[in-house]
Amino acid sequence: MNAAAVPAIDQEDPPWRFSVTPAIEFAVLAAVIIVAAVSYSVVSASAAPQRLLTPLLVASLLVANLVPGVLLMMLLGRRIARRRAAASPVGGTGRLHVRLVALFSTMAAVPMLLVTIVASLLFQYGVQFWYSDRARGMLENATDLARTSYQQQLQRWREATLTMADDMSMQLRAEPIDSPNFPTFFVQQVYYRSLSEAALLNVPASGEVRTLAVVNPYEVELAGRITPDAVRRLRAGEGSVVLVTGDRIQTITTVPGAADLFLYAARVGDTKVMTEQNARAEAVVADYRSLLARARSLQLQFNAALLLISLLIVGIAVWIALKVADRLVAPVGELVGAARRVAGGDLSARVSDPKSRDEVGTLARVFNQMTGQLEQQNAALVSANLQLENRRALIEAVMAGVSAGVIATSPGRLVQIANRSAAALLGVEDPPGKPLAQVSPELDALVESGQREGVVQIGHGLDARTLAVRIARAPAGPILTFDDITRELADQRRAAWSDVARRIAHEIKNPLTPIQLAAERLQRRYGAKVGEGDETFGRLTDTIVRQVGDLRRMVDEFSAFARMPKPVFRDEAICEVARDALFLHEVAHPDIRFQLGCDDPQLRLVCDRRQIGQALTNIVKNAAEAIEAKGEGVGAITMQVRHADSRVSIEVADTGVGLPADRERIVEPYMTTRARGTGLGLAIVKKIVEEHLGAIGFADREEGGTVVTMTFDATALAALDQHAVDRPAEQADDERPIETERT
């Protein structure tokens, strides 16, 4: 197996499933930008920035920004999930990651969106009250009340001091300050007006302060209370100066009608609390007014915080989804990686021992058990397969080494095994897997007949072969073994014909000489005694002599066929051999046009020059006789010598009468279509060609006539080169050319 053949774990989405494309992601991003820009325009368009926006408007803007923002976060998480899934051993499009991101994001976004809307509305409706005119009026009224109370307290003691100054002025006009009644009057004034301390001071232009009368139960330095600033303000026309220091409310004023005479009066009490309350009220009012100025800003900041927190929650949900998906996919990815190793042939692949008892852990344990069993079974199969392979190799070696064809078939006669000899004998490439009837109908018919052995002939014409077949019936299917006995049968027939020819030549040749001699003696002795007008005797004796000559020539052919000499192979110029064969017939047949063509005039071939010349002579002779038998005037005989690769072919084409109807038998001995033919010419040619490891073929010429082709294997013949010298003279006498008639 190949690991690459295992596809990634992924499935195509069904046609109805919504598919997220980059265009959708871009559209969501554009929606986020557009909504943000529109929200900014709506917020900035108000003419009163210190006024709050309506809660529904703010909630709508919040939702409008939140929804595309959440979608963008989910799409971003989806893209990250797909990349993380693609980088994981599981591969694919990260369907589990994407689903978990969508699930967690939706679970976080929906309630978060509702809570955000409710919180925004509650906050805004609650805050709207405090920023309303009623709330502002109540707060300002309370502050005014505290301020008024504080001012009233100060005014009370200020008025008491001014009244006391008027009374002091009237008393000084009635009697001088050094009168005995003035101190009493001064003390009574302090007492009647509930003052804690008072002093009548003289402050001339030089600034020196001199005390004229004083009530000082607390024994404080009253002269230091008259500050130069207060004196300057009073002389500038201000009626009184009120100072609050510590626990005292101090009032300084001038005494009417007396120059440089000033009255100091003070009330000791809890003025610190009153002052702090007044200051606090003022600070509250100032803070409230500052909040009013920043009302919309605070409103937008709160809703912006809600938006960011909501998006942060969705982002955290997406992150948790990715982590959960990674944790869920991690053992699955390990399983997938191990499965791919198993698919690639590595049965030792295991996943880590699961720590949990959940379904994934159970799956991991079962997977480890499965791979362990597969490894054991595979080892057993490999061992058995190795034994089978060794046996198969032995059988193939034995089958390849035998010349007999062997075919093993199934019960349905489908070829299972066939050795090279079977394929070569049947002329079929790659027989295994094909029906026996397609490989060889003859063998299929023999198997169908139920015989255990037989002889069948395959092919037709010159390619026909005779096979001796033996059939072994086995449960797995018939097993056929067959040998090619075509050459053996041909040799047997040739031997039989040679024996017949030898016997005929022996039986006929002995009486021919006495007959011929007797006829010639009768001609010489009685030819002159026969009357001159009687030609019968001479014609009869001539007929006897001529027929005896024909019989002698026939006997010579029989003898030549019966004792064909063994060829002597040596390197010859084949084109010269072909030229010599044509030259003999050019002289004898001047009406026929002869033509020789050679691809390579220097071409050489290891052969028996005499026998190849004899074969070419017989073929050209038959071609000339075929042209004469046609009787259409001038004919043509063309001989072409070709060389391709290691094969040499000699092709002889004529314009004669063509091949007979029974053309398959024209090379058999004593098969002839002419009255005076012996039927040995082409048989001798075929025997010469076969002894030269060649083949002869016959075909019709397209324009009419016959094409005879002899093909030789130059490489195989080169191995037979005997480097022979000239043959002995006595052998040459027995190997004279034999002229035969066309069969």
What Rg value do the Cα atoms of the chain yield, rounded?
Answer: 70
Q: What is the DSSP letter of 572?
A: E
Range with the largest mean pLDDT of 140-144, 317-321, 598-602, 665-669 = 598-602
Spacing of C-alpha 573 from chain mean position? 62
pLDDT confidence tier of residue 58, bands split at 50, 70 and 90: confident
Closest CA to 299 of 291, 289, 290: 291
Q: Which is more confidently placed, 493 or 37?
A: 37
The string of DSSP codes covering 139-175 is HHHHHHHHHHHHHHHHHHHHHHHHHHHHHHHHHHHHS
Q: Are 125 and 55 in contact (CB under 8 A)?
A: yes
Measure Cα distances from 586 to 638, 663, 706, 709 in Å. 12, 27, 19, 21
pLDDT at 346 over 50: yes
pLDDT confidence tier of residue 16, bands split at 50, 70 and 90: very low
Q: Which is more confidently placed, 460 or 8?
A: 460
Would you state the pLDDT for residue 88?
64
Coil, strand or helix at 300: helix
Least confident interval from 304-308, 406-410, 478-482, 679-683: 679-683
Would you state the pLDDT for residue 60?
80
Would you state the pLDDT for residue 596?
92
Q: What is the rounded distance in angstroms from the CA atom of residue 699 to the CA atom of residue 594?
A: 20
Measure Cα distances from 453 to 8, 206, 445, 449 in Å. 57, 165, 12, 10
Sheet holding 240-245, edge to edge: 210-215, 197-202, 261-268, 248-254, 240-245
Q: Which residues contact 243 (CB under 8 A, 6 or more apart)?
A: 225, 230, 249, 250, 251, 252
Across the chain, which distance is largest between two alpha carbons, in Å? 239
pTM: 0.35
pLDDT at 96 over 90: no
pLDDT at 40 over 90: no
Q: Which is more confidently placed, 502 or 470?
A: 470
Would you state the pLDDT for residue 323?
77
The helix or strand, by DSSP H or E, that contains position 595, with its residue range, turns out to be strand 592-598
Q: Which is more confidently placed, 299 or 71?
A: 71
- The mean pLDDT of 713-735, rounded to a whole number, is 62
- The mean pLDDT of 243-267, rounded to a whole number, is 82
Sign of CA dihedral 274, 279, 282, 283: negative
Locate 564 and state its tokens: 């064909």
Residue 479, burial from CB neighbour count under 10 angstroms (0-12, 13-18, 19+): middle
pLDDT at 18 over 70: no
Q: What is the rounded distance in angstroms from the CA atom of residue 696 to the CA atom of residue 686?
A: 7
Q: Are 738 and 613 in contact (CB under 8 A)?
A: no
pLDDT confidence tier of residue 9, bands split at 50, 70 and 90: very low
In 61-74, which positions are buried (b, 16+ CB within 10 angstroms) versus exposed (e)? bbebbbbbbbbbbb
Measure Cα distances from 54 to 11, 59, 82 in Å. 50, 9, 42
User: Which single residue is written with the structure tokens 């098969």?
Assistant: 671
Closest CA to 139 of 279, 281, 295, 275: 281
Q: What is the rounded distance in angstroms from the CA atom of residue 464 to the CA atom of residue 371?
A: 58
pLDDT confidence tier of residue 642, bands split at 50, 70 and 90: very high
Would you state the pLDDT for residue 735?
41
Residue 548, burial from CB neighbour count under 10 angstroms (0-12, 13-18, 19+): buried
Q: Are 332 and 90 in contact (CB under 8 A)?
A: yes
Measure Cα distances from 516 to 319, 512, 694 in Å. 126, 6, 42
Closest CA to 261 of 181, 156, 182, 180: 182
Q: What are phi and psi of 606, to 5 degrees?
A: -75, 115
Q: Are 288 and 282 in contact (CB under 8 A)?
A: no
Would you state the pLDDT for residue 726?
46
pLDDT at 478 over 70: yes
**Side-chain half-sphere of 54: how many Cα atoms within 13 Å?**
4
Q: What is the rounded distance in angstroms from the CA atom of residue 552 to the CA atom of residue 513?
A: 9
Q: What is the rounded distance in angstroms from the CA atom of residue 530 to the CA atom of residue 728?
A: 50
pLDDT at 492 over 80: no
Closest CA to 206 of 174, 173, 231: 231
- The mean pLDDT of 193-220, rounded to a whole number, is 83
pLDDT at 743 over 60: no
Number of H helices, E strands in the chain: 19, 17
CB atoms within 10 A of CB 86: 14
As beta bridge partners, residue 242 has 251
- The mean pLDDT of 315-322, rounded to a whole number, is 78
Would you state the pLDDT for residue 638?
93
Q: What is the rounded distance in angstroms from the CA atom of residue 706 to the CA atom of residue 524?
A: 48
pLDDT confidence tier of residue 693, bands split at 50, 70 and 90: confident
Would you state the pLDDT for residue 78?
76
Q: Which is more confidently placed, 724 or 702?
A: 702
Q: What is the rounded distance in angstroms from the CA atom of residue 223 to the CA atom of residue 264?
A: 9
Alpha helices in 484-535 (DSSP H): 486-526
As a residue count, the chain comes to 743
Alpha helices in 206-294 (DSSP H): 228-235, 271-293
Residues 626-636: pLDDT tens digits?
A: 888 887 767 89
- The mean pLDDT of 42-68, rounded to a whole number, is 72
Would you state the pLDDT for residue 641?
94
